[in-house]
Amino acid sequence: MAGAGAAGGAGGRAAGARYRRLATELREAIASGAYGAGGRLPSEEELAQQHGVSRGTVRQALAVLRANGLVTSRRGTRRVVLGTARTQSFFELLSFTRWARALGEVPGGRTIDISSGPANPLEAEQLGLEPGTQIHRVLRLRTLSRVPIMIERTIYPEHIGAVIAGLDPDAISHTEPLADQGVVFADAEHTVDLVYADDEDARLLGCDPGSPLMRERRRATDPAGTPLEWSDDRYLPGTVSFTVHNSAASTALSRRRG
Amino acid sequence: MAGAGAAGGAGGRAAGARYRRLATELREAIASGAYGAGGRLPSEEELAQQHGVSRGTVRQALAVLRANGLVTSRRGTRRVVLGTARTQSFFELLSFTRWARALGEVPGGRTIDISSGPANPLEAEQLGLEPGTQIHRVLRLRTLSRVPIMIERTIYPEHIGAVIAGLDPDAISHTEPLADQGVVFADAEHTVDLVYADDEDARLLGCDPGSPLMRERRRATDPAGTPLEWSDDRYLPGTVSFTVHNSAASTALSRRRG
DNA sequence: TGCTTCAAGTTGTACAGCCAACTTTGATCC
DNA sequence: GGATCAAAGTTGGCTGTACAACTTGAAGCA
């Protein structure tokens, strides 16, 4: 069996690459407590034989768990289980709706304003376009179980905005219909800081002007690096926190001045 | 030349693994604009020949850049340069001193209080110890160019605290001496949210009690997953922001309720 | 012009093997 | 009893090979 290939070879019953499926299986096994809290994983060789794959494929799967902070990884000893699970996915961070549902809460959204027009220089830079290019703007109030939580100001390039504009105005999720239309979100950059509510923020969120808010600014791109959306989300205090795992091996987090 | 091995084989002049050195070289090449903004990288095969390594090693190096959000990565086309550079390292996030120096500012620290004693239940959980175990506590005011920026409350398990206690009280960095003593920081989990200054915060930072602060709570561990420190850092508004890059392939960021 | 088809180029996935570096354990020795 | 050393076990690192999946641009055709 030299060179089985990705989907054409032996397995091929489910979707995705073999190592991804293996990573999911291992994540679920850990979550179910199969190895215990703080327990040791089987050796790479054992896992390879158990699942009928090569050691290289096992290592790819384990690298995923490692990056998510689920297991340790050091030379000389078997891997140790750290967190029992972290179901959080890339999309739960991108989509307010997905996130809320994963929490077991009821997401809501009221579209305050929707418009399109030429991008000002700032907006153009955020979306990597030339100033004056047509863009779409959406302002929405987001709720959890009918309670206002966050105010969301998003801008889209024209080809994305056209899809958004065609949606049901009462649609709760905007991200999911995009995915259905074949728009692929691949990367995102999130910046978190503290700002003070302006008059519009205060009116919509029901707080005082000048009161503090958690701000998350986000730029999402497709696999080619082309910006798909840029958003400025402002949360009422006490409603969210952001958690990051990083390691000496792979760092994606940074602290910035101001 | 089948199976050259890590440091024993051909190269071996500098420190670290071959793919890490290659990743650094590529990062610097990108930062210097060698491939232009938005330019294309050479193919994996070309890079392999240019640097005298196998394609597998090139791919390991590129995976690092990918995780840092420096380049795209999609099947069928050459990689495209995204960000021009992100020198930020794991340690600049861990160490206030390292971070400040990378910014070109002068870091300062005044130790307000240092003590040791048995851990209360909360502290014990944060460090993964039994309640009542001896721990060390440090309270410090951090400054940039003599201006107060942040208040830092850190606790250490005994074996680390012993090293801290032996330091010069005026030492600016605590993390760096630990590294010199052979303490290896491998992983960290950071949680960012918004809190209101208590009386102590306000007195030390020179703000009003109840005024908003950015809080970063951090747990750092060694390669085996054993906690080395737990810290609660509170920044004055407008002094910092936190940025994260994540992708559908590897997610380490999550948003949480409250 | 506009469309399809094809071929070349590039990255993704998977396999196999080898050695190095490190951890742990147990045996040996003093 | 305690320190030292050897061996086994495990992960890290690197190479080589093969094929699949995808992107792109050019050729060909209507």
Using CA coordinates, name the residue in chain B closest to A96: B255
Regarding whether B162 and B78 lie in a shared domain, the answer is no
pLDDT, tens digit (0-9, with 9 covering 90-100), for B138-184: 999 999 999 999 999 999 998 888 888 888 777 888 888 888 788 88
Whether A12 has a pLDDT exceeding 80, the answer reads: no
Whether B255 has a pLDDT exceeding 60, the answer reads: yes
Kindly indicate the confidence band of residue A258, based on its pLDDT and cuts at 50, 70 and 90. low
Report CB contact under 8 Å: A250, B250.
yes
Residue A175 counted as domain residue: yes
Regarding whether A122 and A58 lie in a shared domain, the answer is no
Residue B88's pLDDT is 62
Residue A223 sits in a domain of what CATH number? 3.40.1410.10
pLDDT, tens digit (0-9, with 9 covering 90-100), for B217-245: 999 999 888 999 999 999 999 999 998 88
Residue A9 counted as domain residue: no
Supply the mean pLDDT for chain B: 87
Whether A182 has a pLDDT exceeding 60, the answer reads: yes
Q: How far apart are CA A212 and CA A199, in angstroms?
A: 12
Report CB contact under 8 Å: B253, A69.
no
Q: Are A27 and A41 in contact (CB under 8 A)?
A: no
In A, which residues are within 8 Å of B239 by CB distance?
Answer: 257-258
Regarding whether A101 and A206 lie in a shared domain, the answer is yes
Structure tokens at B145: 């160019």
Regarding whether A65 and A103 lie in a shared domain, the answer is no
Secondary structure element (H or E) that encloses residue A176, with its range? helix A175-180
Regarding whether A81 and A94 lie in a shared domain, the answer is no
Last residue of a domain, one of A86, A102, A121: A86
Regarding whether A137 and A36 lie in a shared domain, the answer is no
Regarding whether A151 and A31 lie in a shared domain, the answer is no
Closest CA to A203 of A239, A234, A232: A234
Q: Which residue has the higher pLDDT, A250 or B219?
A: B219
In three-state secondary structure terms, B98 is helix
Last residue of a domain, one of A86, A109, A126: A86
Average pLDDT estimate for A78-88 = 79
Report chain C positions within 7 A of protein CB atoms: 9-24
Residue B258's pLDDT is 67
Q: How many domains does chain A have?
A: 2
Residue B115 counted as domain residue: yes
Estimate in Å the CA B156 to C1' D23 gap, whole number.
53
Residue A104: how many other CB atoms lie within 10 Å: 7
Residue B106 counted as domain residue: yes
Regarding whether B109 and B204 lie in a shared domain, the answer is yes
Out of A93, A194, A247, name the one closest to residue B254 (CB).
A93
Residue B70 sits in a domain of what CATH number? 1.10.10.10
In A, which residues are within 8 Å of B253 by CB distance?
Answer: 88, 93, 190, 242-244, 252-253
Residue A165's pLDDT is 84
Nucleic strand C near CB of residue B59 (< 7 Å): yes
In B, which residues are within 8 Å of A244 by CB distance?
Answer: 189-192, 242, 244, 252-254
Residue B4 counted as domain residue: no
Q: How far apart are CA A185 and CA A150, in angstroms?
A: 22
Q: How far apart are CA A18 and CA A11, in angstroms?
A: 8
Q: Are A153 and A188 in contact (CB under 8 A)?
A: no
Regarding whether B228 and B135 lie in a shared domain, the answer is yes
pLDDT, tens digit (0-9, with 9 covering 90-100), for A136-152: 999 999 999 999 999 99
**Alpha-carbon distance values, A32 to A38, A81, B238, B243 (Å):** 13, 12, 43, 33
pLDDT, tens digit (0-9, with 9 covering 90-100), for A58-82: 999 999 999 888 999 999 999 999 9
Residue A60's pLDDT is 97
Estimate in Å the CA B197 to C1' C13 gap, whole number.
52
Regarding whether A105 and A78 lie in a shared domain, the answer is no
Out of B68, B254, B256, name the one closest to residue A251 (CB).
B68
Q: Are A214 and A207 in contact (CB under 8 A)?
A: no
DSSP structural state of residue B180: H
Q: How far apart are CA B83 and CA A10, in angstroms?
A: 39
Distance from CA of B10 to the nearest CA of A (A): 22
Residue B121 counted as domain residue: yes
Last residue of a domain, one of A59, A86, A113: A86
CA-based radius of gyration for chain B: 22
B139 has a chain A CB within 8 A of its CB: no
Supply the mean pLDDT for chain A: 87
Report CB contact under 8 Å: A246, B252.
yes
Residue B242 counted as domain residue: no
Q: How far apart are CA B196 and CA B202, in angstroms?
A: 9
Average pLDDT estimate for B191-202 = 96
Residue A15's pLDDT is 66
Distance from CA of A134 to the nearest CA of B (A): 22
User: Domain range holding A116?
Assistant: 90-235
Whether A6 has a pLDDT exceeding 60, the answer reads: no
Give contacts of A 67-86 with B, CB under 8 A.
67-69, 72-74, 77, 80, 82, 86
Average pLDDT estimate for B83-112 = 83
Residue A163 counted as domain residue: yes
pLDDT, tens digit (0-9, with 9 covering 90-100), for A155-166: 999 888 888 888
Whether A175 has a pLDDT exceeding 90, the answer reads: no
In B, which residues are within 8 Å of A212 by CB distance?
Answer: 194, 212, 237
Whether B2 has a pLDDT exceeding 80, the answer reads: no
Q: How far apart are CA B179 and CA B253, in angstroms?
A: 27
Regarding whether A134 and A198 lie in a shared domain, the answer is yes
Whether B11 has a pLDDT exceeding 70, the answer reads: no
Regarding whether A149 and A40 lie in a shared domain, the answer is no
